[in-house]
Structure 1
Protein backbone atom coordinates (compact mmCIF):
# COMPACT_ATOMS: atom_id res chain seq x y z
CA UNK A 1 0.00 0.00 0.00
CA UNK A 2 1.29 3.45 -0.86
CA UNK A 3 1.83 6.21 1.65
CA UNK A 4 -0.99 8.17 0.01
CA UNK A 5 -3.49 5.33 0.53
CA UNK A 6 -2.30 4.81 4.10
CA UNK A 7 -2.70 8.52 4.83
CA UNK A 8 -6.23 8.56 3.33
CA UNK A 9 -7.28 5.56 5.41
CA UNK A 10 -5.83 7.09 8.57
CA UNK A 11 -7.66 10.38 7.95
CA UNK A 12 -10.90 8.50 7.19
CA UNK A 13 -10.59 6.47 10.40
CA UNK A 14 -9.92 9.60 12.46
CA UNK A 15 -12.90 11.42 10.91
CA UNK A 16 -15.16 8.43 11.58
CA UNK A 17 -13.99 8.26 15.19
CA UNK A 18 -14.50 12.01 15.60
CA UNK A 19 -18.04 11.95 14.19
CA UNK A 20 -18.88 8.97 16.41
CA UNK A 21 -17.57 10.79 19.47
CA UNK A 22 -19.65 13.88 18.65
CA UNK A 23 -22.79 11.81 18.11
CA UNK A 24 -22.27 9.91 21.35
CA UNK A 25 -21.88 13.11 23.38
CA UNK A 26 -24.91 14.80 21.84
CA UNK A 27 -27.20 13.46 24.58
CA UNK A 28 -29.35 16.04 26.35
CA UNK A 29 -27.98 17.69 29.48
CA UNK A 30 -30.66 15.89 31.49
CA UNK A 31 -33.38 13.39 30.82
CA UNK A 32 -36.99 14.32 31.23
CA UNK A 33 -38.77 11.67 33.26
CA UNK A 34 -41.62 12.11 30.78
CA UNK A 35 -39.07 11.50 27.98
CA UNK A 36 -38.62 7.94 29.13
CA UNK A 37 -38.63 5.07 26.74
CA UNK A 38 -42.09 3.98 27.94
CA UNK A 39 -44.74 3.67 25.26
CA UNK A 40 -48.25 4.37 26.49
CA UNK A 41 -49.86 1.52 28.38
CA UNK A 42 -48.68 -0.92 31.02
CA UNK A 43 -45.22 -2.46 30.76
CA UNK A 44 -44.76 -6.20 31.09
CA UNK A 45 -43.14 -7.48 34.23
CA UNK A 46 -40.15 -9.57 33.25
CA UNK A 47 -40.50 -12.80 35.17
CA UNK A 48 -40.77 -13.25 38.87
CA UNK A 49 -37.60 -14.80 40.17
CA UNK A 50 -35.74 -15.25 43.41
CA UNK A 51 -32.83 -13.12 44.56
CA UNK A 52 -30.54 -16.09 43.95
CA UNK A 53 -30.80 -15.27 40.24
CA UNK A 54 -30.02 -11.58 40.63
CA UNK A 55 -26.62 -10.47 39.42
CA UNK A 56 -23.73 -10.67 41.90
CA UNK A 57 -22.06 -8.98 43.72
CA UNK A 58 -24.23 -7.77 46.57
CA UNK A 59 -23.29 -4.06 46.27
CA UNK A 60 -26.03 -2.20 44.32
CA UNK A 61 -23.52 0.39 43.05
CA UNK A 62 -21.32 -2.33 41.54
CA UNK A 63 -24.36 -3.87 39.83
CA UNK A 64 -25.51 -0.43 38.62
CA UNK A 65 -22.07 0.27 37.14
CA UNK A 66 -22.21 -3.08 35.34
CA UNK A 67 -25.11 -1.87 33.22
CA UNK A 68 -23.32 1.44 32.53
CA UNK A 69 -20.31 -0.59 31.34
CA UNK A 70 -22.57 -2.77 29.17
CA UNK A 71 -23.80 0.32 27.29
CA UNK A 72 -27.44 -0.74 27.30
CA UNK A 73 -30.15 1.21 25.52
CA UNK A 74 -33.63 1.76 26.91
CA UNK A 75 -36.22 -0.75 25.74
CA UNK A 76 -39.09 -1.53 28.13
CA UNK A 77 -39.99 -4.54 26.02
CA UNK A 78 -36.41 -5.87 26.24
CA UNK A 79 -34.53 -7.41 29.12
CA UNK A 80 -30.99 -7.94 30.32
CA UNK A 81 -30.09 -10.44 33.02
CA UNK A 82 -33.78 -11.07 33.71
CA UNK A 83 -34.66 -7.39 34.27
CA UNK A 84 -36.47 -4.97 31.95
CA UNK A 85 -34.15 -2.50 30.25
CA UNK A 86 -35.79 0.66 31.57
CA UNK A 87 -35.66 2.71 34.79
CA UNK A 88 -37.81 0.27 36.77
CA UNK A 89 -35.86 -2.78 35.67
CA UNK A 90 -32.57 -1.02 36.31
CA UNK A 91 -33.51 -0.05 39.88
CA UNK A 92 -34.89 -3.56 40.53
CA UNK A 93 -31.62 -5.09 39.30
CA UNK A 94 -29.45 -2.76 41.39
CA UNK A 95 -31.56 -3.42 44.50
CA UNK A 96 -31.85 -7.18 43.85
CA UNK A 97 -35.65 -7.10 43.85
CA UNK A 98 -37.48 -10.29 42.95
CA UNK A 99 -39.27 -8.77 39.99
CA UNK A 100 -38.85 -5.97 37.50
CA UNK A 101 -41.66 -3.45 37.93
CA UNK A 102 -42.60 0.13 37.17
CA UNK A 103 -41.05 2.75 39.47
CA UNK A 104 -44.65 3.76 40.27
CA UNK A 105 -45.21 0.29 41.80
CA UNK A 106 -42.14 0.21 44.05
CA UNK A 107 -43.73 2.03 47.01
CA UNK A 108 -47.09 0.28 46.81
CA UNK A 109 -45.53 -3.19 46.77
CA UNK A 110 -43.24 -2.48 49.73
CA UNK A 111 -40.15 -3.00 47.55
CA UNK A 112 -38.82 0.34 48.81
CA UNK A 113 -39.54 2.39 51.92
CA UNK A 114 -39.52 6.18 52.14
CA UNK A 115 -36.65 7.90 53.97
CA UNK A 116 -37.18 10.94 56.18
CA UNK A 117 -35.05 13.20 53.99
CA UNK A 118 -31.88 13.82 52.06
CA UNK A 119 -29.59 13.38 55.07
CA UNK A 120 -30.74 9.77 55.40
CA UNK A 121 -29.56 8.82 51.90
CA UNK A 122 -26.71 6.31 51.81
CA UNK A 123 -24.90 4.78 48.83
CA UNK A 124 -27.22 2.34 47.09
CA UNK A 125 -30.45 4.08 48.18
CA UNK A 126 -32.54 5.88 45.61
CA UNK A 127 -34.65 8.80 44.52
CA UNK A 128 -38.08 7.81 43.25
CA UNK A 129 -40.76 9.64 41.28
CA UNK A 130 -43.81 7.36 41.51
CA UNK A 131 -46.07 9.50 39.27
CA UNK A 132 -47.26 7.98 35.99
CA UNK A 133 -44.85 5.25 34.99
CA UNK A 134 -42.35 7.00 37.25
CA UNK A 135 -38.59 7.15 37.31
CA UNK A 136 -35.93 5.89 39.70
CA UNK A 137 -32.33 6.93 40.35
CA UNK A 138 -29.83 4.86 42.34
CA UNK A 139 -28.01 7.21 44.72
CA UNK A 140 -24.20 6.95 44.70
CA UNK A 141 -22.88 9.80 46.85
CA UNK A 142 -23.15 13.52 47.45
CA UNK A 143 -21.33 15.72 44.94
CA UNK A 144 -21.04 18.59 47.42
CA UNK A 145 -20.98 19.22 51.17
CA UNK A 146 -24.24 21.19 51.04
CA UNK A 147 -26.10 18.14 49.67
CA UNK A 148 -27.50 20.10 46.72
CA UNK A 149 -26.34 17.61 44.07
CA UNK A 150 -25.35 13.97 43.96
CA UNK A 151 -23.94 11.34 41.66
CA UNK A 152 -26.62 8.91 40.62
CA UNK A 153 -27.17 5.97 38.30
CA UNK A 154 -30.23 6.07 36.08
CA UNK A 155 -31.67 4.55 32.93
CA UNK A 156 -33.06 7.22 30.60
CA UNK A 157 -34.04 7.37 26.95
CA UNK A 158 -30.35 8.23 26.34
CA UNK A 159 -29.23 4.96 28.00
CA UNK A 160 -27.72 4.01 31.35
CA UNK A 161 -25.82 6.90 32.94
CA UNK A 162 -23.77 7.74 36.00
CA UNK A 163 -23.87 11.50 36.37
CA UNK A 164 -24.29 14.49 38.65
CA UNK A 165 -27.93 15.32 39.37
CA UNK A 166 -29.32 18.28 41.36
CA UNK A 167 -31.19 17.17 44.50
CA UNK A 168 -33.80 15.79 44.33
CA UNK A 169 -33.85 15.80 40.49
CA UNK A 170 -33.89 18.20 37.55
CA UNK A 171 -36.48 20.99 37.95
CA UNK A 172 -39.90 20.28 36.53
CA UNK A 173 -39.36 16.52 36.25
CA UNK A 174 -41.65 15.34 39.03
CA UNK A 175 -41.74 14.80 42.76
CA UNK A 176 -38.67 12.70 43.63
CA UNK A 177 -38.48 11.18 47.11
CA UNK A 178 -35.56 9.49 48.86
CA UNK A 179 -36.14 5.74 49.32
CA UNK A 180 -34.34 2.63 50.52
CA UNK A 181 -34.81 -0.82 49.03
CA UNK A 182 -36.40 -3.32 51.40
CA UNK A 183 -33.67 -5.80 52.23
Structure 2
Protein backbone atom coordinates (compact mmCIF):
# COMPACT_ATOMS: atom_id res chain seq x y z
CA UNK A 1 0.00 0.00 0.00
CA UNK A 2 1.39 3.32 -1.05
CA UNK A 3 1.42 5.95 1.68
CA UNK A 4 -0.90 8.86 0.83
CA UNK A 5 0.79 12.20 0.34
CA UNK A 6 -0.29 15.09 2.55
CA UNK A 7 0.46 18.79 2.19
CA UNK A 8 -0.11 21.56 4.69
CA UNK A 9 -0.96 25.04 3.38
CA UNK A 10 0.09 27.79 5.74
CA UNK A 11 -0.76 31.21 4.28
CA UNK A 12 1.68 33.95 5.24
CA UNK A 13 0.04 36.88 7.00
CA UNK A 14 1.96 39.56 5.10
CA UNK A 15 2.40 37.94 1.67
CA UNK A 16 0.61 39.63 -1.25
CA UNK A 17 0.82 36.76 -3.73
CA UNK A 18 -2.56 35.53 -5.10
CA UNK A 19 -2.24 32.15 -3.35
CA UNK A 20 -1.70 33.54 0.15
CA UNK A 21 -4.37 36.20 -0.35
CA UNK A 22 -6.84 33.47 -1.39
CA UNK A 23 -6.12 31.15 1.55
CA UNK A 24 -6.25 33.98 4.08
CA UNK A 25 -9.80 34.63 2.89
CA UNK A 26 -11.11 31.05 2.86
CA UNK A 27 -9.40 29.44 5.83
CA UNK A 28 -11.07 29.64 9.25
CA UNK A 29 -9.36 31.84 11.80
CA UNK A 30 -9.52 30.57 15.39
CA UNK A 31 -10.19 32.96 18.21
CA UNK A 32 -6.75 34.32 19.09
CA UNK A 33 -3.45 33.16 17.71
CA UNK A 34 -1.83 33.52 14.31
CA UNK A 35 -3.93 32.86 11.18
CA UNK A 36 -1.45 30.10 10.37
CA UNK A 37 -3.00 28.06 13.18
CA UNK A 38 -5.76 27.21 10.72
CA UNK A 39 -4.35 24.62 8.30
CA UNK A 40 -5.90 22.68 5.45
CA UNK A 41 -4.96 19.05 4.97
CA UNK A 42 -5.16 17.88 1.36
CA UNK A 43 -5.22 14.19 0.44
CA UNK A 44 -3.27 13.61 -2.77
CA UNK A 45 -3.49 9.82 -3.25
CA UNK A 46 -4.27 8.51 -6.72
CA UNK A 47 -7.52 6.70 -7.56
CA UNK A 48 -5.62 3.51 -8.45
CA UNK A 49 -3.80 3.45 -5.12
CA UNK A 50 -7.06 4.03 -3.25
CA UNK A 51 -8.70 1.18 -5.13
CA UNK A 52 -5.85 -1.18 -4.21
CA UNK A 53 -5.90 -0.12 -0.55
CA UNK A 54 -9.62 -0.28 0.07
CA UNK A 55 -10.72 -2.86 -2.48
CA UNK A 56 -13.30 -0.74 -4.25
CA UNK A 57 -13.69 2.60 -5.95
CA UNK A 58 -15.74 5.00 -3.90
CA UNK A 59 -16.10 8.71 -4.56
CA UNK A 60 -14.96 10.54 -1.45
CA UNK A 61 -17.27 13.41 -0.51
CA UNK A 62 -15.60 16.78 -0.91
CA UNK A 63 -15.16 18.82 2.23
CA UNK A 64 -15.65 22.50 1.47
CA UNK A 65 -13.34 24.96 3.15
CA UNK A 66 -15.26 27.40 5.33
CA UNK A 67 -16.13 30.54 3.39
CA UNK A 68 -16.74 34.04 4.67
CA UNK A 69 -20.35 35.11 4.06
CA UNK A 70 -20.77 37.08 0.86
CA UNK A 71 -22.89 40.23 1.08
CA UNK A 72 -25.44 40.61 -1.73
CA UNK A 73 -24.04 42.74 -4.51
CA UNK A 74 -20.65 43.24 -2.85
CA UNK A 75 -17.73 41.22 -4.21
CA UNK A 76 -15.44 39.85 -1.53
CA UNK A 77 -12.52 41.61 -3.19
CA UNK A 78 -13.95 44.96 -2.10
CA UNK A 79 -13.34 44.15 1.55
CA UNK A 80 -10.23 45.86 2.88
CA UNK A 81 -7.36 43.87 4.30
CA UNK A 82 -5.60 46.81 5.82
CA UNK A 83 -3.36 46.24 8.82
CA UNK A 84 -1.50 49.47 9.32
CA UNK A 85 1.66 50.87 10.79
CA UNK A 86 1.87 53.18 13.79
CA UNK A 87 2.71 56.89 13.79
CA UNK A 88 6.05 57.51 12.12
CA UNK A 89 8.08 60.36 10.58
CA UNK A 90 8.15 60.80 6.83
CA UNK A 91 10.29 58.13 5.14
CA UNK A 92 10.07 55.82 8.15
CA UNK A 93 11.06 55.41 11.82
CA UNK A 94 14.74 56.15 11.21
CA UNK A 95 14.08 59.52 9.54
CA UNK A 96 14.26 62.91 11.22
CA UNK A 97 10.87 64.00 12.60
CA UNK A 98 9.33 67.10 11.00
CA UNK A 99 7.88 69.97 13.05
CA UNK A 100 4.28 69.23 13.96
CA UNK A 101 1.43 71.39 12.73
CA UNK A 102 -1.63 71.53 10.50
CA UNK A 103 -0.52 72.64 7.01
CA UNK A 104 -2.95 74.69 4.95
CA UNK A 105 -4.37 73.05 1.83
CA UNK A 106 -7.44 73.04 -0.42
CA UNK A 107 -9.96 70.41 -1.42
CA UNK A 108 -8.64 70.45 -4.98
CA UNK A 109 -5.10 69.76 -3.76
CA UNK A 110 -6.28 66.92 -1.52
CA UNK A 111 -7.99 65.18 -4.42
CA UNK A 112 -5.09 65.93 -6.76
CA UNK A 113 -2.61 64.23 -4.41
CA UNK A 114 -4.94 61.25 -3.96
CA UNK A 115 -5.24 60.88 -7.73
CA UNK A 116 -1.46 60.83 -8.07
CA UNK A 117 -1.19 57.70 -5.90
CA UNK A 118 -4.10 56.07 -7.74
CA UNK A 119 -2.49 56.84 -11.12
CA UNK A 120 0.85 55.47 -9.89
CA UNK A 121 -0.87 52.32 -8.55
CA UNK A 122 1.06 52.62 -5.30
CA UNK A 123 1.16 49.08 -3.83
CA UNK A 124 -0.26 48.49 -0.37
CA UNK A 125 2.22 47.96 2.45
CA UNK A 126 2.19 48.64 6.17
CA UNK A 127 5.98 48.89 6.29
CA UNK A 128 7.09 50.43 2.98
CA UNK A 129 7.26 54.18 2.28
CA UNK A 130 6.60 55.83 -1.09
CA UNK A 131 9.01 58.37 -2.61
CA UNK A 132 7.16 61.27 -0.96
CA UNK A 133 7.83 59.74 2.47
CA UNK A 134 4.34 58.49 3.30
CA UNK A 135 3.60 54.94 4.41
CA UNK A 136 1.76 52.87 1.82
CA UNK A 137 -1.26 51.94 3.94
CA UNK A 138 -4.70 53.51 4.36
CA UNK A 139 -3.71 56.01 7.05
CA UNK A 140 -0.47 56.90 5.28
CA UNK A 141 -2.55 57.60 2.15
CA UNK A 142 -4.74 60.11 4.02
CA UNK A 143 -1.68 61.62 5.72
CA UNK A 144 -0.25 62.19 2.25
CA UNK A 145 -3.45 63.65 0.76
CA UNK A 146 -3.89 66.00 3.73
CA UNK A 147 -0.16 66.84 3.49
CA UNK A 148 0.42 66.10 7.19
CA UNK A 149 3.95 66.50 8.63
CA UNK A 150 4.20 62.79 9.52
CA UNK A 151 2.52 59.44 8.98
CA UNK A 152 -0.53 59.12 11.21
CA UNK A 153 -2.73 56.08 11.84
CA UNK A 154 -6.47 55.58 12.26
CA UNK A 155 -6.14 56.20 15.97
CA UNK A 156 -4.66 59.70 15.51
CA UNK A 157 -6.08 61.11 12.26
CA UNK A 158 -9.20 62.47 13.98
CA UNK A 159 -7.13 65.12 15.80
CA UNK A 160 -6.56 66.85 12.44
CA UNK A 161 -10.26 66.98 11.58
CA UNK A 162 -13.63 68.29 12.67
CA UNK A 163 -16.47 65.81 12.89
CA UNK A 164 -19.23 66.47 10.34
CA UNK A 165 -22.57 64.97 9.34
CA UNK A 166 -23.13 62.78 6.29
CA UNK A 167 -25.06 65.52 4.47
CA UNK A 168 -22.10 67.91 4.85
CA UNK A 169 -19.57 65.65 3.14
CA UNK A 170 -17.57 67.27 0.35
CA UNK A 171 -14.58 66.09 -1.72
CA UNK A 172 -11.46 65.95 0.44
CA UNK A 173 -13.26 64.95 3.66
CA UNK A 174 -12.63 61.48 5.09
CA UNK A 175 -14.63 58.54 6.43
CA UNK A 176 -12.78 56.93 9.35
CA UNK A 177 -13.32 53.72 11.31
CA UNK A 178 -10.90 53.04 14.16
CA UNK A 179 -11.37 49.89 16.19
CA UNK A 180 -9.63 50.67 19.54
CA UNK A 181 -9.99 47.14 20.94
CA UNK A 182 -8.26 45.56 17.93
CA UNK A 183 -6.93 48.20 15.50
CA UNK A 184 -6.07 45.64 12.81
CA UNK A 185 -9.59 44.23 12.79
CA UNK A 186 -11.51 46.40 10.34
CA UNK A 187 -9.88 49.78 11.03
CA UNK A 188 -9.78 51.73 7.78
CA UNK A 189 -10.00 55.27 6.37
CA UNK A 190 -10.93 56.55 2.92
CA UNK A 191 -11.12 59.96 1.22
CA UNK A 192 -14.56 61.09 0.10
CA UNK A 193 -14.55 62.08 -3.58
CA UNK A 194 -18.20 63.06 -4.06
CA UNK A 195 -21.60 61.37 -4.32
CA UNK A 196 -22.22 59.25 -7.40
CA UNK A 197 -25.90 60.25 -7.58
CA UNK A 198 -28.65 62.17 -5.84
CA UNK A 199 -29.62 59.26 -3.57
CA UNK A 200 -26.38 59.64 -1.56
CA UNK A 201 -26.12 55.87 -1.17
CA UNK A 202 -22.86 55.49 -3.13
CA UNK A 203 -19.85 57.78 -3.29
CA UNK A 204 -16.45 57.83 -5.00
CA UNK A 205 -13.83 56.61 -2.49
CA UNK A 206 -10.10 57.19 -2.83
CA UNK A 207 -8.23 54.68 -0.69
CA UNK A 208 -5.06 52.66 -0.21
CA UNK A 209 -5.95 48.99 0.00
CA UNK A 210 -4.65 45.70 -1.36
CA UNK A 211 -3.23 45.35 -3.92
CA UNK A 212 -2.77 49.08 -4.65
CA UNK A 213 -4.35 52.55 -4.36
CA UNK A 214 -7.69 52.87 -6.09
CA UNK A 215 -10.77 55.00 -6.60
CA UNK A 216 -14.09 53.18 -6.72
CA UNK A 217 -17.81 53.72 -6.28
CA UNK A 218 -18.47 52.55 -2.73
CA UNK A 219 -21.66 52.12 -0.68
CA UNK A 220 -22.00 54.60 2.18
CA UNK A 221 -20.26 54.38 4.58
CA UNK A 222 -18.25 51.32 3.50
CA UNK A 223 -18.56 47.70 2.42
CA UNK A 224 -18.35 46.50 6.03
CA UNK A 225 -18.70 48.06 9.49
CA UNK A 226 -20.70 50.78 7.76
CA UNK A 227 -22.34 52.05 10.95
CA UNK A 228 -18.95 52.57 12.64
CA UNK A 229 -17.44 55.06 10.17
CA UNK A 230 -17.26 58.72 11.17
CA UNK A 231 -16.95 61.68 8.75
CA UNK A 232 -14.25 64.30 9.36
CA UNK A 233 -13.26 67.55 7.63
CA UNK A 234 -9.63 68.62 7.63
CA UNK A 235 -8.96 71.55 10.00
CA UNK A 236 -6.33 73.07 7.73
CA UNK A 237 -8.55 73.93 4.74
CA UNK A 238 -7.51 77.29 3.32
CA UNK A 239 -9.74 80.31 3.98
CA UNK A 240 -12.23 80.61 1.16
CA UNK A 241 -12.33 76.87 0.49
CA UNK A 242 -15.96 75.69 0.25
CA UNK A 243 -17.05 74.33 3.61
CA UNK A 244 -14.97 76.73 5.73
CA UNK A 245 -16.44 79.63 7.69
CA UNK A 246 -14.26 82.42 6.19
CA UNK A 247 -15.90 81.81 2.82
CA UNK A 248 -19.33 82.67 4.14
CA UNK A 249 -20.60 79.23 3.19
CA UNK A 250 -22.20 76.60 5.34
CA UNK A 251 -20.45 75.54 8.52
CA UNK A 252 -20.10 71.83 9.34
CA UNK A 253 -23.50 71.82 11.05
CA UNK A 254 -25.14 73.08 7.86
CA UNK A 255 -25.90 76.63 9.01
CA UNK A 256 -24.96 79.82 7.21
CA UNK A 257 -22.75 81.81 9.62
CA UNK A 258 -23.20 85.22 8.00
CA UNK A 259 -26.63 86.25 6.62
CA UNK A 260 -24.90 89.13 4.83
CA UNK A 261 -23.06 86.53 2.72
CA UNK A 262 -25.78 84.21 1.43
CA UNK A 263 -24.78 81.03 -0.26
CA UNK A 264 -24.76 81.02 -4.03
CA UNK A 265 -28.16 80.22 -5.53
CA UNK A 266 -26.34 77.74 -7.81
CA UNK A 267 -24.85 75.83 -4.87
CA UNK A 268 -26.81 72.71 -5.83
CA UNK A 269 -25.38 69.38 -4.62
CA UNK A 270 -23.86 67.25 -7.35
CA UNK A 271 -26.78 65.24 -8.79
CA UNK A 272 -24.67 62.34 -10.06
CA UNK A 273 -23.00 61.24 -13.28
CA UNK A 274 -26.25 59.73 -14.61
CA UNK A 275 -27.61 63.24 -15.25
CA UNK A 276 -24.94 64.07 -17.84
CA UNK A 277 -23.90 62.51 -21.12
CA UNK A 278 -25.55 61.36 -24.36
CA UNK A 279 -29.32 61.15 -24.04
CA UNK A 280 -29.54 63.21 -20.84
CA UNK A 281 -32.35 65.78 -20.75
CA UNK A 282 -32.87 67.54 -17.42
CA UNK A 283 -32.52 70.82 -15.54
CA UNK A 284 -29.00 70.01 -14.34
CA UNK A 285 -27.69 70.09 -17.91
CA UNK A 286 -29.11 73.61 -18.27
CA UNK A 287 -27.54 74.66 -14.96
CA UNK A 288 -24.20 73.17 -15.97
CA UNK A 289 -24.23 75.06 -19.28
CA UNK A 290 -25.05 78.39 -17.66
CA UNK A 291 -22.27 77.96 -15.09
CA UNK A 292 -19.81 77.07 -17.86
CA UNK A 293 -20.81 80.15 -19.90
CA UNK A 294 -20.18 82.29 -16.83
CA UNK A 295 -16.69 80.77 -16.58
CA UNK A 296 -15.76 81.53 -20.20
CA UNK A 297 -17.34 78.76 -22.29
CA UNK A 298 -19.86 80.88 -24.21
CA UNK A 299 -18.08 80.34 -27.53
CA UNK A 300 -18.90 76.62 -27.45
CA UNK A 301 -22.64 77.21 -27.65
CA UNK A 302 -24.47 78.19 -30.86
CA UNK A 303 -27.58 78.85 -28.78
CA UNK A 304 -28.22 79.26 -25.09
CA UNK A 305 -27.56 76.21 -22.90
CA UNK A 306 -30.59 73.96 -22.61
CA UNK A 307 -31.73 70.79 -20.85
CA UNK A 308 -30.70 68.36 -23.61
CA UNK A 309 -27.08 67.19 -23.41
CA UNK A 310 -25.08 68.11 -26.51
CA UNK A 311 -21.53 68.03 -27.78
CA UNK A 312 -21.32 71.73 -26.89
CA UNK A 313 -21.83 70.79 -23.22
CA UNK A 314 -19.14 68.12 -23.47
CA UNK A 315 -16.59 70.40 -25.15
CA UNK A 316 -17.32 73.26 -22.75
CA UNK A 317 -16.94 70.95 -19.74
CA UNK A 318 -13.70 69.56 -21.13
CA UNK A 319 -12.33 73.08 -21.68
CA UNK A 320 -13.09 73.94 -18.04
CA UNK A 321 -11.43 70.74 -16.83
CA UNK A 322 -8.35 71.41 -18.94
CA UNK A 323 -8.21 74.96 -17.55
CA UNK A 324 -7.67 73.32 -14.14
CA UNK A 325 -4.63 71.50 -15.54
CA UNK A 326 -6.40 68.14 -15.76
CA UNK A 327 -5.60 65.77 -18.61
CA UNK A 328 -6.60 62.35 -19.88
CA UNK A 329 -9.54 60.73 -18.14
CA UNK A 330 -9.82 63.62 -15.70
CA UNK A 331 -10.71 65.91 -18.64
CA UNK A 332 -13.22 63.71 -20.45
CA UNK A 333 -15.91 66.38 -20.79
CA UNK A 334 -18.29 64.70 -18.33
CA UNK A 335 -18.73 66.62 -15.06
CA UNK A 336 -17.80 64.66 -11.95
CA UNK A 337 -18.24 65.75 -8.36
CA UNK A 338 -15.05 67.85 -8.32
CA UNK A 339 -15.89 69.65 -11.59
CA UNK A 340 -19.38 70.42 -10.27
CA UNK A 341 -18.07 71.66 -6.91
CA UNK A 342 -15.67 74.10 -8.58
CA UNK A 343 -18.44 75.44 -10.81
CA UNK A 344 -21.11 75.94 -8.15
CA UNK A 345 -18.66 77.56 -5.72
CA UNK A 346 -16.76 79.69 -8.23
CA UNK A 347 -13.52 77.87 -7.49
CA UNK A 348 -10.75 76.93 -9.88
CA UNK A 349 -9.62 78.72 -13.03
CA UNK A 350 -11.78 80.23 -15.77
CA UNK A 351 -11.52 79.12 -19.39
CA UNK A 352 -8.97 81.32 -21.16
CA UNK A 353 -10.40 83.52 -23.93
CA UNK A 354 -9.02 82.86 -27.40
CA UNK A 355 -8.76 84.91 -30.57
CA UNK A 356 -9.58 88.35 -29.25
CA UNK A 357 -6.46 89.46 -27.44
CA UNK A 358 -4.23 91.63 -29.63
CA UNK A 359 -0.48 92.02 -29.41
CA UNK A 360 -0.75 95.75 -30.14
CA UNK A 361 -3.38 98.29 -29.22
CA UNK A 362 -5.96 97.89 -26.47
CA UNK A 363 -6.90 94.23 -25.90
CA UNK A 364 -10.44 93.19 -26.69
CA UNK A 365 -12.29 92.46 -23.44
CA UNK A 366 -13.60 88.95 -23.02
CA UNK A 367 -17.37 88.95 -23.02
CA UNK A 368 -19.05 85.55 -23.03
CA UNK A 369 -22.74 84.85 -22.90
CA UNK A 370 -23.46 87.89 -25.15
CA UNK A 371 -27.15 87.90 -26.14
CA UNK A 372 -27.57 86.72 -29.70
CA UNK A 373 -23.99 85.59 -30.23
CA UNK A 374 -24.26 82.13 -31.82
CA UNK A 375 -20.65 80.98 -31.43
CA UNK A 376 -17.56 80.91 -33.63
CA UNK A 377 -18.60 77.79 -35.51
CA UNK A 378 -21.22 79.82 -37.39
CA UNK A 379 -18.54 81.97 -39.07
CA UNK A 380 -16.11 79.68 -40.83
CA UNK A 381 -15.42 78.85 -44.51
CA UNK A 382 -18.32 76.74 -45.78
CA UNK A 383 -20.77 77.94 -43.12
CA UNK A 384 -24.28 78.74 -44.32
CA UNK A 385 -26.81 80.02 -41.80
CA UNK A 386 -28.99 82.97 -40.84
CA UNK A 387 -26.34 84.42 -38.52
CA UNK A 388 -24.02 85.15 -41.45
CA UNK A 389 -26.80 87.17 -43.07
CA UNK A 390 -27.51 88.97 -39.79
CA UNK A 391 -23.83 89.80 -39.37
CA UNK A 392 -23.47 91.11 -42.93
CA UNK A 393 -26.48 93.39 -42.66
CA UNK A 394 -25.17 94.85 -39.42
CA UNK A 395 -21.77 95.48 -41.03
CA UNK A 396 -23.48 97.38 -43.83
CA UNK A 397 -25.53 99.34 -41.30
CA UNK A 398 -22.36 100.29 -39.37
CA UNK A 399 -20.57 101.43 -42.54
CA UNK A 400 -18.35 98.40 -43.12
CA UNK A 401 -20.13 96.94 -46.15
CA UNK A 402 -17.91 98.18 -48.96
CA UNK A 403 -16.56 94.68 -49.63
CA UNK A 404 -19.96 93.31 -50.67
CA UNK A 405 -20.66 93.28 -54.45
CA UNK A 406 -24.15 91.94 -53.73
CA UNK A 407 -26.33 92.04 -50.65
CA UNK A 408 -25.13 90.01 -47.64
CA UNK A 409 -26.33 86.43 -47.71
CA UNK A 410 -26.27 83.27 -45.57
CA UNK A 411 -23.04 81.77 -47.02
CA UNK A 412 -19.84 82.89 -45.27
CA UNK A 413 -17.37 84.42 -47.70
CA UNK A 414 -14.36 86.68 -48.05
CA UNK A 415 -16.48 89.88 -48.09
CA UNK A 416 -17.83 88.92 -44.67
CA UNK A 417 -14.37 88.27 -43.29
CA UNK A 418 -12.88 91.51 -44.66
CA UNK A 419 -15.82 93.52 -43.32
CA UNK A 420 -15.39 92.03 -39.86
CA UNK A 421 -11.64 92.66 -40.00
CA UNK A 422 -12.20 96.32 -40.89
CA UNK A 423 -14.62 96.69 -37.97
CA UNK A 424 -12.15 95.04 -35.56
CA UNK A 425 -9.32 97.34 -36.69
CA UNK A 426 -11.59 100.30 -36.12
CA UNK A 427 -11.71 99.22 -32.47
CA UNK A 428 -7.93 99.56 -32.31
CA UNK A 429 -7.27 95.81 -32.36
CA UNK A 430 -4.33 94.29 -34.23
CA UNK A 431 -2.83 90.87 -34.86
CA UNK A 432 -4.97 87.91 -33.86
CA UNK A 433 -7.60 90.21 -32.39
CA UNK A 434 -8.37 91.48 -35.93
CA UNK A 435 -8.54 88.17 -37.81
CA UNK A 436 -11.91 88.82 -39.46
CA UNK A 437 -13.81 86.20 -37.48
CA UNK A 438 -16.35 87.55 -34.98
CA UNK A 439 -15.89 86.55 -31.37
CA UNK A 440 -18.28 87.49 -28.56
CA UNK A 441 -16.77 90.95 -28.01
CA UNK A 442 -16.85 91.76 -31.73
CA UNK A 443 -20.50 90.73 -31.78
CA UNK A 444 -21.36 92.76 -28.70
CA UNK A 445 -19.80 95.94 -30.09
CA UNK A 446 -21.22 95.43 -33.56
CA UNK A 447 -24.78 95.08 -32.29
CA UNK A 448 -24.62 97.50 -29.37
After TM superposition, the score normalised by the length of structure 2 is 0.31
1:76 aligns to what? 126
Q: Distance in 2 between matches of 1:28 and 1:158?
A: 14
In the TM superposition, structure 1's runs of 4+ consecutive aligned residues that sit over 2 Å from their partners are: 46-51, 171-174
Larger Rg: 2
Larger RCO (alpha carbons 8 Å, 6+ apart)? 1
Structure 1 residues 65 and 118, CA gap change in structure 2 (3 angstroms): same
Q: Does 1:150 align with 2:196?
A: no
Give the counterpart of 1:49 among 98, 116, 121. 98
Residue pair 1:72, 1:159 contacting (<8 A) in 2 also: yes
In the TM superposition, what is the alpha-carbon distance from 1:44 to its structure 2 partner?
A: 5.1
Choose which of 164, 174, 178 in structure 2 pairs with 1:130.
178
Cα distance in 1 for partners of 2:87, 2:169 equals 30
SS in 2 for 1:159: coil
Q: In structure 1, what is the Cα distance between the partners aligned to 2:163 and 2:215?
A: 23
Q: Deviations over 1:5-52 (max 9, x none)?
A: xxxxxxxxxxxxxxxxxxxxxx954123xx2144xxx6351334368x
Where 2:228 maps in the other structure, the secondary structure is coil
Conservation of the 8 A alpha-carbon contact between 1:83 and 1:99: yes
SS in 1 for 2:203: strand
1:20 paired residue number: none
Asked if the contact 1:140/1:151 (under 8 Å) is kept, the reply is yes
Deviates more, 1:126-135 or 1:160-169: 126-135
| Alignment of 1:105 onto 2:159 | no
Cα distance in 2 between the residues matched to 1:92 and 1:124? 12
Number of the residue aligned with 2:215: 162
Query: In angstroms, what is the RMSD of aligned CA positions?
Result: 2.9
Q: Which residue of 130, 134, 142 maps to 1:91? A: 142
Moved more, 88-97 or 131-140: 131-140
Residue 152 of structure 1: SS of its match in structure 2? Answer: strand
Contact 1:149 1:166 in 2 (8 A): yes
Q: Is this contact kept in 1: 2:122–2:136, CA < 8 A?
A: yes
CA distance in 2, matches of 1:87, 1:147: 23
In 2, are the aligned partners of 1:151 and 1:164 still within 8 Å (CA)?
A: yes
Partner of 1:7: none
Change (3 A) 1:177 1:145: same
Structure 1 gap ranges (5+): 1-26
2:127 match: secondary structure: strand
More strand by share: 1
TM-score (norm 1): 0.71
